[in-house]
Amino acid sequence: MSRASSIAYPNIALVKYWGKRDEALILPAAGSLSLTVDDLATTTAVEVTDRPGEDIFILNGRAASASATERTSAFLDVIRQQVGDDRAAVVDSTNAGPTGAGMASSASGFAALASAAASAYGLSLDQPALSRLARRGSGSACRSVIGGLAVWHAGDELESFAEPVPGPDLRLVPVIVSGRPKAVSSRRAMRLSRDTSPFYPAWVSSTEETLRQMIAACAAGDIERIGQLTESHALRMHAVIASSTPPVRYLSPASLTVLDAVQELRADGLAAWATADAGPNVCVLTTPGDAGQVAQAMAGLAVSDPAEGAPGPLRILGPGPGAHLIPDPVELTRGAS
């Protein structure tokens, strides 16, 4: 029996990934760029059993749904095929942030799973190979293998991985307006956009252009430009999503209130730009210097955390590390006994 545990953090895309050119291999239609953050981690332990058969997936302390377990097993199959091992695994995963609510839980989830499962099955991978592997679970997970700013290249199977990209020190303030899981999965909505939106081809070509501009803005440390590109690209993504048939709308009235408030902060001279993934929650991109004021200004717009009662001060997220192995708690207990 072999076990390994890993931790990975969510990433928030400043240039969004929205659309695949290969669904089986999860190859994106265009490149993207994100910031891996330092909070809301997923911690995952993988134990390889001594028998083939059904995998067991425990998520946040309870048996996961059949569809989540199936997706985890399909991912483990990619590793099992590579190493020629048919033994089942027990996967125990805990998210510190909301699951499936558009706060990138699948990115941290599959990055942590890729790292722990590769090790538990005895597969030794360098960072690009681990990023490629995580991509097979969820596209955006390939970026959580990398710490801080990461660019994920479009391209064929071998070229499509994430790597670090130089840039300034940034902060993100998540404004959680709903903790509920999204009604339409990003995977499904992404397919709908590709198959039905008349704007999809323009979205793909303009994303490549935005990515070039973003990489240049990051290299120049031009925060103003990074912010403008981030907000405009997120709004373009939501426009493409809304232009699908049937239409999908992730932003709620509460999200729009946050977008307006962010615009006001800018008018007041603060560095603040909004972005939102496939859900109603908004992340405000800002600088280390302005993050405290931004978090304070946004506090009244966030919902209270049911676990914590009244809304506390909002978290300020900075750049976090890429997915990595951590000492396995069970091995530690065994060692101590």
Token pair, residue 329, equals: 């708690």
Identify which of residues 227 and 279 has a Cβ nearer to ligand DP6 in the complex: 279
Identify which of residues 6 and 11 has a Cβ nearer to ligand DP6 in the complex: 11
Q: Of 148, 78, 64, which is closest to residue 106 (Cα–Cα)?
A: 64
Q: Which of 72, 108, 138, 230 binds ligand DP6 (CB under 6 A)?
A: 138
Contact window for ligand DP6 (CB under 6 A) among 154-162, 182-190, 310-318, 320-328: 182-190
Q: Of 13, 39, 30, which is closest to residue 314 (Cα–Cα)?
A: 39
Position 315 contacts ligand DP6 (CB under 6 A): no
Position 186 contacts ligand DP6 (CB under 6 A): yes
DSSP string, 253-264: HHHHHHHHHHHH
Contact window for ligand DP6 (CB under 6 A) among 49-57, 80-88, 162-170, 183-191: 183-191
Q: Which of 72, 115, 140, 197 binds ligand DP6 (CB under 6 A)?
A: 140
Looking at residues 99 to 128 of the shown chain, list those that interact with ligand DP6 (rule: CB under 6 A). 106
SS3 label, residue 172: strand
Looking at residues 6 to 35 of the shown chain, list those that interact with ligand DP6 (rule: CB under 6 A). 13, 16-18, 26, 32
Position 43 contacts ligand DP6 (CB under 6 A): no
Looking at residues 71 to 100 of the shown chain, list those that interact with ligand DP6 (rule: CB under 6 A). none
Position 278 contacts ligand DP6 (CB under 6 A): yes
Distance in angstroms (rounded) separating the CA atoms of residues 317 and 275: 14
Sheet holding 282-286, edge to edge: 171-175, 282-286, 273-275
Position 281 contacts ligand DP6 (CB under 6 A): no
Q: Helices H, strands E: what count in the chain?
A: 10, 15
CB atoms within 10 A of CB 317: 22
SS3 label, residue 159: coil
Element (H or E) spanning 89, and its range?
strand 87-95
Position 316 contacts ligand DP6 (CB under 6 A): no
DSSP string, 244-307: SSS------HHHHHHHHHHHHHHHTT---EEE--SSS-EEEEE-TTTHHHHHHHHGGGSPPPTT
Identify which of residues 251 and 297 has a Cβ nearer to ligand DP6 in the complex: 251
| # of chain residues touching ligand DP6 (CB under 6 A) | 15
Q: Minimum CB separation from ligand DP6 for residue 139, in Å?
A: 3
Bridge partners of 11?
A: 36
Q: Minimum CB separation from ligand DP6 for residue 308, in Å?
A: 25
Q: Minimum CB separation from ligand DP6 for residue 234, in Å?
A: 9
Q: Minimum CB separation from ligand DP6 for residue 240, in Å?
A: 11
Contact residues for ligand DP6, defined by CB under 6 A: 13, 16-18, 26, 32, 106, 138-140, 186-187, 190, 277-278
